[in-house]
Structure 1
């Protein structure tokens, strides 16, 4: 019998092979180079406060007055603007992008705008305010005096007298300096940059004519007349390899800058003989790549035929393998024998469906004690016995079965005092059931955020120490390293003595100690995911350490990873990232103020500070700076000094050779990604949802 999983794998492999063959043949027929238009983290480098959300790029964060913010995003790959030795001149280029500049508070003066730039530096991040997060404040404010070669078109919403700005709504060309070589007031064009409207910009430079034009429109249709037309020779600033991107900044304001779409290409690159022209193109969020190239009528017809026959072949292959897979899957699910031979499961025992059904009163709603993404947990009291269990009931959906198999295979042989013990399992009547020991005090989440909170300071410290101990066991003491991937307060249970037990291993993975992690489907819960996990899809022990750090800060502060905070003056509330909030207090030497006020000061001050520093060190954006869990255990046992924590949270640079696509990421809730965090929709005033402030 052919396993359905093998059929699905065969389908995927064949589909991928046919798609690749079709794409290669079509590209050969058209004599072009094709590139993916899907946004991946390897395409972009994010600097400063920039972030990704729903396929858009945010450059600045929503700050409280008088805070400042600056961020940049640029293509990781450099563009060639000059030909080989002996070629004269530079390439022409064309950029099209849509952006939104919005003042967050009514009556705000706004500021300071954004800039599209071409730079010789791949780590372009400058000062805030009128420097637009692009230029260095230490450089002389004179065109051409910056050490870097920078060509920038600024969309400025503030008047900076020192830079000779014409108004608070202007477009200008900057060459190596925030002082524009030419700028134009947009009053006559009807465009207001900080109106909050989606605005589309076109920037075209023709090197042969030495002409730069900038056009703006609300409609998305390029107007006939540009708002800025300037005769300028950029050859002194366009080097052999340049990086293209955007930057923005604020200073004492709450303006936000977002790039919605972005396309860029160079053309007319001179060759040594000046006989041919090369085209280089790059795609970013929401933009289809333009194809350029030649080819005769015969090649065009061939490409058209392949483009038609390719999808037909893919559809036929899909239908055939889908039919085979469904047929085999039905045969598999209809069989009566268990999916795991009993001899392979030496620890947990097999329960019958009948006895579990009786123990849960037919899986009655009154026995539900928890719900998860792939199943429901019931309280089970065995008839005639004093034993109480917790039964996790999963459906027969493919992902649920995968989780069931993973959880059973991972946790069956694990033994630790701070693990929820697996007692048994059942696979009958089309249902997947896991049987655990019952935890009478529920989850840490309910205990910590219940009204009133039932956890004292000693109990909270015990929770932090216990979870650190079990993670050290999973990461470093098991025969195979276990990566949990979903550490959060909801998956930490409390036994009768309020001792912590780590549970829910549905997302866990086994890994040999000498093996490197591989990219997988990114999964987990918003607020607990490490930035590098979002970037590469590689779950490691260090991604677990990050999640543990967030849990520790929750235990100390009594605040969720993403928490509501009322704005001053009765304005709309905003969401604050817990790690950033605690780090800000640490930088202001007010770390002890992060302690949960519901403790009423009844805690050990030195112990609280030690635990807060442990949380920050584990939640460091740079994974290499996080301590191993064995070191954390030593710190909490006062056997080692805390890891030094910098006063200012380290900046995170998203740059990787990984090709994990945003579409491949799956979370337990929400779809926002910001500064390496995923954001969900709010469920309550103190929920884990909505935007986050970095």
Structure 2
């Protein structure tokens, strides 16, 4: 006789789940081919939205343009991550939609206004246009490239786009020449008042009507400020992305989005599945009951009663055993499943087989670098969902490796900035941890900066200046514009990658730490790379935004001078610190001589001098004297004055507690100096 092997509990669980899902799916008479959605965000998070350009997230509020005390020009966009269905080809129905959002437009200088913000629908999730009157919707050099439907809230009169005034609302369709506008002053609304304003946008597809209302309160006015008879069916694609954009042009205007609600309606549910009626009632055979004696009836009754009790009891025992076995199996992978659940809305999960194939079995010929995390491979991924070329960071399972992996993934997965290396996906399998990034064709900054003569393209001055600005921009974002401050802790030329246009992309977040903006840094074990570590970080082990600023200063000096942080002089074989060397030239009034001689003087002398002085001010031994990264960015963008750099390198004396044991070194607690018996003073020149 043949006996089949019992089904493993895990497979049985999968089978039951599939069976129930199929059963309910086919028994549900109200399945719809397309579903209406309902979004409600009282605050914004990086998990749900993508930030482009100058936009940033702080305390749950999106800032679309930079917060500066001096006039600037820029544009920013925030886009909801998931595409939204607006047209159902199966039922040939275009959705109606309604949205409301609260916003405010602030200005430190009321006379410096412009340009406004817009709510938009776009088939593209990378919409970022030009500053000024283009409102971040349209590229000034490709006016017809971006396709969109937008409601603009304009704060500047731009005759080029036939604006009626500097305080109006308009409907824009694939052009900034509004189809129709409404004068907000007639409704008593001043966009530039600085007050929180709520806007309602309602489109009824069946009536071909779009209404826009605005109010200082949370109550929707009866009369809209803009009403347009229009059919948007030709412009609402099957799926589109929803977002906000804003721009400035030589102004200090700030644009904030505080809350947002969005709903679609009008999709019709599919018809209920009909039940089979091919058998008539009269064709059913009815079998009459067979009478039985009273004694046998009682006997069968007792048996039935016994089975009635034993059956459910047996079922629950089996269920309990099955649950116990399943829990034991699930316990071993609980952490991994929890980790994956956190990333369902984030980067893509690759299969190990896919990545192994893409790297030719992790062949040595595909190795493009090594780091603290592990080995980096060049991968050719054939899937159409991602780019053809990627970089795969691979690490074996270890406590340290997994900690760094989870740190890097949890941090960078929620960050969006043009000067960050974009994370494509991840994989946890076969005892390995893998991260998949965009491939940077020009490699790391240190390899390009210190390549052998004649082996590649020398970085010219424009590229070097652009790298300095890009790195300052992304650090400003990490330190001051994220919901939680991110301290990188390992900024160096090896972690600055260069894309095809030699733009800087900061990567390697394995040592990064997240902290709330209003919390002081936690003491920790010192990590990073010698030559880039700030003096106070070496002594106290406290990573702050100012320790990142110090590392940035060293990187900028490397970019300007073409020298490593610590180099051995060919003549004397003496080790020379780059910061000390440049400061020495500054003391003698010869700082321009620190410029990379390979540039052959092909640079703007004032710009070179400014970059060197910015590097020294960031590498100041006194952390209190270092500028913030926002100030550095303003200096490099000529929006703020250069900080005064003393002729002589400052010296600083540390009074710090010398830990008595390794446990004291790695302690995360903040212990007072009085608890230690050994007190040291270290002088940093």
| TM bracket, shorter-chain basis | 0.3 to 0.5
Answer with 1 or 2: which has the greater Rg.
2
> TM-score, normalised on structure 2?
0.47
Greater RCO, 1 or 2 (C-alpha within 8 Å, sep 6+): 1
